[in-house]
Amino acid sequence: MASSFSSEADLLVVGGDSMIGTAAAKAARARGLRVVVTTRRPGMDTPQTLPLDLADPGGWGWVADLRVATVFLCAAVARLDACHIDPEGSARVNVTGTVELARRLMAQGAHVIHLSSNQVFKGDAPSPAEDAPVSPANTYGAQKAEAERSLLALVPPPGRPAATILRLTKVIHPGMPLFTGWIDQLAAGRVVRPARDMALAPVTVDLVVEAMLALADRGREDPAAVPGIFHLSATDEISYAEAAAFVARRQGADAGLMQAVDSVAAGYLREQPPRHTIMATGRLRRLTGIMPPGAEAALSACLPAPSAPNVRIRGKR
Which CATH number do you get for residue 145? 3.40.50.720
Pairwise CA distance, residues 197 & 275, whole Å = 7
Contacts of 207 (CB under 8 A, 6+ apart): 232, 290, 292, 293, 298
Residue 313 pLDDT greater than 70, yes or no? no
Count of domains observed in the chain: 1
| 43 within a domain of the structure (yes/no) | yes
What is the extent of the structural domain holding 216? 8-171+202-232
pLDDT classification of 251: cutoffs 50, 70, 90: confident
pLDDT classification of 43: cutoffs 50, 70, 90: low
| 187 within a domain of the structure (yes/no) | no
Regarding predicted confidence, which is higher, 309 or 168? 168
pLDDT over 90 percentage in the chain: 85
| 302 within a domain of the structure (yes/no) | no
At 5 the pLDDT is: 54
Q: Residue 22: in which H helix or E strand, if any? A: helix 19-30
Contacts of 181 (CB under 8 A, 6+ apart): none
pLDDT over 70 percentage in the chain: 92
Across residues 62-87, what is the average pLDDT?
95
| 312 within a domain of the structure (yes/no) | no
The 10s digit of each residue's pLDDT in 6-15 is 678 999 999 9
| 197 within a domain of the structure (yes/no) | no
Tell which residue, 178, 179, 185, 302, has the closest CA to residue 234: 302
| 92 within a domain of the structure (yes/no) | yes
At 304 the pLDDT is: 85
Sign of CA dihedral 218, 222, 225, 228: positive
Residue 72: beta bridge partners? 13, 113
At 44 the pLDDT is: 65
In order of 44, 129, 164, 315, the CA distances from 308 in angstroms are: 46, 37, 43, 21
The 10s digit of each residue's pLDDT in 113-159 is 999 999 999 999 999 999 999 999 999 999 999 999 999 999 999 99
At 1 the pLDDT is: 42
At 181 the pLDDT is: 95
Pairwise CA distance, residues 229 & 271, whole Å = 26
At 255 the pLDDT is: 78
| 258 within a domain of the structure (yes/no) | no
| 242 within a domain of the structure (yes/no) | no
